[in-house]
């Protein structure tokens, strides 16, 4: 995305930054292939690609979201509980979770910068939440006021546990990032009630929308209190066991991932965000407690989602009707639902799989989703958002609220915007991990990484314009006594490496001696130049993705491109363009750090063509056109118009 400069000042830290963990901080390490670094060990350079995004998030997305919590009714809903607001409940039953996601984002933001800019909001909101929370820890503004007799009565739809999960995650983030024991206590009161109600010895039950599982595990990690973990485990174990806990629904049991026990559920199905949040929670439970059947199911789930049901942008979920995964290879570009939250959930889950299972494929998936699907969901000014992320916007698109032609400032179901805020505020935590003997770098961005104590002292400085180009310079300032393992992305064909000034290899990825996708450089390495060739290329989908058969997408490195009408103001319609097979693709630098791609195409105006023609299998040849493609993440920031990722070949 193009990150416009913003002017809102970010308060400077008054104190040295706190050392703190990021969103995932496993306690049990014996099953982990690698461990997270503390979030405070990684600082993204504010001038780099990811760092600019974090700055935009802090300066624009977060303040905007705080304002929208008021305007959308989410905070007034909570004031109904305290009697300060007399209007009706506004929005969906789970609107409280919008507040919690913003709070979570603030926790990571304070941890990252030490800012005090949000302290007033934090204090006011804590005061409100504490007063709204029932004495036994219950907090749900819809149920408390409108259905007081129906606590935990509608596990299928009421989202009480889902909201509790987001409250718990906010509490953990604010405790880790900002040292807020008051927020942790608020979250624990709620979690203790969840444990008392649904934990061991309590009634059986789990939420129609998974989320609380991963939250409870993280709270266990933060506090060491075992019942949180045991409750998450119980919810994972009970799900899909035909206990009639959620009951029948017009959307079917698959929608809720309640059709089969978790260990037997090997295909990504049903509501995409629900499936992916559940998978994150299951992976967390495996990490803490073991059970190889859980890991095996997660591997199968991951393969199903990523090898059969993922868009080229990393987005997931192709059906609008129930926001769900489709069948294998059902990936229509124009009717892609591709909800922002699903891409975010996939980043969160794939990171947990990276920790638990290792392998650069997980980091490849994180990078793909982050730089394409998630990045596209935010406007250049950080204040409007896509909910669904189609790969083709048709001329004259008939808009639906969740499928607009342009990003909008908020949604009546506002799950996505604050979800972006919490992910981006914690992005630095995803960059690198450690094993007993190596520092592993997974995502490339200009950054400084503190060497973990067990691997020496000092920092590793990463200088790169990635993904604008593929050159990454890593320099050790201090003493790295372990090795340095660098992910060689799956998209990279040709790689040059120089270590301490000595060229090691100029090789194809397949020729490199990679360990699970990582190039491992020995202890004592001081300077590595990694140069990943980043030509513009075409990418074709599996032949069974009928919706884009005969088409290709343009990519450069990890970045997916699209053709937008705004770059072809005098025609042709991007609906009618085709790419000349084998034609040159030219990388054209411009104002934005990410270059454009120009390509040879043809176009024949098809606006008046009959819907069906007899006997003409091949479309008529068209006139030559010069096509301009921009990064998909940047589409929709200029004049409205059609856009497409997949280009039929001429």
Q: Which residues are catalytic?
A: 323, 415
Q: Please, which residue, 95 or 415, has the CB nearer to Zn ion?
A: 415
Pick the binder of ligand FUB from 110, 278, 312, 341 (CB under 6 A): 341
Pick the binder of ligand FUB from 59, 218, 339, 367 (CB under 6 A): 339
Question: What would the x/- binding string for ligand FUB be over residues 41 to 80, using CB under 6 A?
Answer: ----------------------------------------
Q: Please, which residue, 344 or 603, has the CB nearer to ligand FUB?
A: 344
By beta carbon distance, the residue nearest Zn ion is 341
State which H helix or E strand residue 5 sits in: none
**Contact present, 613 and 591 (Cβ < 8 Å):** no
Pick the binder of Zn ion from 341, 353, 519, 532 (CB under 5 A): 341
CA-to-CA distance for 369 and 376, rounded, in angstroms? 10
Q: How far is the CB of 341 from ligand FUB (least distance, A)?
A: 5
Pick the binder of Zn ion from 41, 56, 370, 415 (CB under 5 A): 415
Residues from 307 through 336 that contact ligand FUB (CB under 6 A): 323
Phi/psi for 134 (5° steps) reads -65, 160
CA-to-CA distance for 406 and 404, rounded, in angstroms? 5
Q: Please, which residue, 118 or 387, has the CB nearer to ligand FUB?
A: 387
Q: Please, which residue, 301 or 388, has the CB nearer to ligand FUB?
A: 388
Q: Which token pair is 283?
A: 């992976």
Tell whether residue 632 is a contact of ligand FUB (CB under 6 A): no
Give the interface segment with Zn ion, choosing from 15-23, 86-94, 335-343, 534-542 (CB under 5 A). Answer: 335-343
CA-to-CA distance for 265 and 236, rounded, in angstroms? 12
Count of residues interacting with ligand FUB (CB under 6 A) = 8
563's contact among ligand FUB, Zn ion, none, with CB below 5 to 8 A by partner kind, is: none
CA-to-CA distance for 42 and 431, rounded, in angstroms? 8
Pick the binder of ligand FUB from 413, 498, 520, 540 (CB under 6 A): 413
State which H helix or E strand residue 559 sits in: strand 559-564
413's contact among Zn ion, ligand FUB, none, with CB below 5 to 8 A by partner kind, is: ligand FUB
**Contact present, 95 and 146 (Cβ < 8 Å):** no
Q: Please, which residue, 93 or 637, has the CB nearer to ligand FUB?
A: 93
Tell whether residue 251 is a contact of ligand FUB (CB under 6 A): no
Pick the binder of Zn ion from 102, 191, 215, 416 (CB under 5 A): 416
Pick the binder of ligand FUB from 94, 118, 385, 411 (CB under 6 A): 94
DSSP-derived letter for residue 18 is: P
Residues from 272 through 291 that contact ligand FUB (CB under 6 A): 273
Other Cβ atoms less than 10 A from the Cβ of 511: the count is 11
Q: How far is the CB of 158 from ligand FUB (least distance, A)?
A: 11
209's contact among Zn ion, ligand FUB, none, with CB below 5 to 8 A by partner kind, is: ligand FUB
CA angle 227, 229, 233 (to 5 degrees): 110
CA-to-CA distance for 103 and 111, rounded, in angstroms? 12
Tell whether residue 374 is a contact of Zn ion (CB under 5 A): no
Residue by residue, DSSP assigns 375-396 as HHTB-TTSS-B-SS--SEE-TT
For the chain, the straight-line distance linking the first and the last C-alpha, in angstroms and rounded, comes to: 29
94's contact among ligand FUB, Zn ion, none, with CB below 5 to 8 A by partner kind, is: ligand FUB
CA-to-CA distance for 116 and 12, rounded, in angstroms? 8
Residues found in the chain: 650
User: How many alpha carbons lie under 13 Å from residue 107 in its C-beta half-sphere?
Assistant: 33
**Phi-psi map region of 138: left, alpha, beta (phi>0 left; psi -120 to 50 alpha):** beta
By beta carbon distance, the residue nearest ligand FUB is 273
Which residues is 433 bridged to in the sheet? 36, 440
Count of residues interacting with Zn ion (CB under 5 A) = 4
CA-to-CA distance for 265 and 509, rounded, in angstroms? 34
User: How many alpha carbons lie under 13 Å from residue 144 in its C-beta half-sphere?
Assistant: 21
- For ligand FUB, the binding residues (CB under 6 A) are 94, 209, 273, 323, 339, 341, 413, 415
Which residues contribute to the site for Zn ion (CB under 5 A)? 339, 341, 415-416
């Amino acid at each position: 995305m193009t990150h416009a400069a913003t002017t809102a000042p970010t308060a400077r830290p008054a104190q040295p930054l706190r050392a703190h963990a990021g969103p995932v901080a496993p306690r049990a390490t014996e099953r982990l292939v690698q461990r997270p670094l503390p979030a405070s060990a990684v600082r993204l350079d504010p001038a780099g690609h990811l760092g600019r995004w974090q700055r935009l998030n802090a300066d624009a997305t977060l303040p905007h979201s705080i304002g929208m919590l008021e305007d959308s009714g989410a905070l007034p809903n909570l004031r109904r509980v305290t009697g300060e607001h007399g209007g009706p409940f506004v929005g969906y039953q789970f609107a409280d979770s919008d507040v919690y996601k913003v709070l979570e984002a603030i926790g990571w933001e304070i941890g990252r910068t030490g800012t005090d800019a949000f302290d007033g909001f934090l204090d006011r909101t804590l005061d409100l939440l504490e007063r709204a929370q029932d004495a036994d820890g219950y907090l749900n503004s819809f149920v408390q006021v409108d259905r007081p007799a129906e606590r935990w009565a509608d596990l299928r739809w009421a989202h009480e546990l889902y909201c509790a999960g987001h409250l718990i995650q906010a509490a953990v983030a604010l405790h880790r990032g900002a040292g807020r024991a008051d927020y942790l206590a608020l979250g624990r009161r709620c979690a203790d009630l969840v444990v008392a109600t649904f934990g061991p010895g309590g009634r059986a039950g789990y939420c129609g929308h998974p989320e609380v599982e991963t939250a409870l595990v993280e709270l266990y990690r933060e506090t060491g209190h075992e019942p949180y973990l045991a409750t998450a485990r119980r919810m994972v174990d009970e799900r899909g066991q035909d206990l009639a806990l959620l009951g029948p629904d017009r959307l079917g049991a698959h929608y809720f991932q309640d059709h089969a026990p978790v260990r037997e559920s090997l295909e990504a199905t049903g509501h995409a965000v629900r499936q992916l949040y559940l998978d994150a929670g299951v992976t967390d439970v495996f990490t803490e407690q073991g059970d190889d059947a859980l890991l095996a199911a997660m591997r199968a789930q991951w393969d199903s989602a990523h090898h059969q049901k993922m868009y080229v942008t990393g987005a997931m979920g192709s059906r609008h009707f129930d926001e769900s995964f489709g069948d294998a290879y059902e990936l229509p570009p124009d009717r892609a639902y591709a909800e922002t939250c699903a891409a975010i959930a996939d980043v969160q889950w794939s990171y947990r799989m990276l920790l638990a299972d290792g392998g650069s494929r997980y980091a490849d998936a994180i990078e793909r989703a982050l730089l394409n699907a998630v990045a596209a969901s935010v406007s250049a000014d950080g204040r409007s958002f896509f909910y669904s992320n189609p790969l083709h916007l048709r001329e004259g698109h008939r808009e639906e609220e969740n499928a607009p032609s342009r990003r909008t400032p908020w949604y009546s179901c506002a799950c996505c915007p604050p979800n972006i805020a919490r992910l981006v505020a914690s992005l630095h935590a995803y960059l690198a991990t450690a094993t007993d003997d190596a520092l592993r770098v997974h995502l490339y961005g200009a950054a400084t990484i503190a060497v973990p104590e067990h691997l020496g002292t000092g920092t590793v400085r990463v200088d790169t314009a990635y993904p604008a180009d593929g050159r990454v310079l890593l320099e050790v300032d201090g003493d790295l006594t372990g090795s340095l393992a660098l992910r060689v992305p799956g998209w990279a064909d040709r790689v040059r490496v120089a270590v301490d000034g000595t060229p090691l290899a100029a090789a194809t990825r397949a020729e490199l001696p990679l360990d699970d996708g990582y190039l491992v450089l020995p202890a004592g390495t001081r300077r590595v130049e990694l140069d990943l060739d980043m030509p513009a290329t075409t990418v074709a989908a599996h032949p069974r993705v009928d919706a884009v058969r005969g088409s290709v997408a343009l990519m450069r490195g990890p970045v997916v491109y699209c053709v937008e009408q705004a770059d072809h103001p005098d025609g042709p319609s991007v609906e009618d363009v085709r790419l000349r097979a084998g034609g040159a693709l030219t990388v054209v630098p411009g104002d934005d750090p990410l270059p454009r791609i120009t390509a040879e195409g043809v176009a024949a105006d098809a606006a008046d063509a009959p819907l069906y023609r007899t006997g003409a299998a091949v479309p008529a040849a068209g006139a030559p056109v010069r096509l301009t493609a921009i990064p998909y993440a940047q589409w929709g920031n200029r004049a409205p118009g059609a856009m497409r990722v997949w280009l039929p070949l001429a």
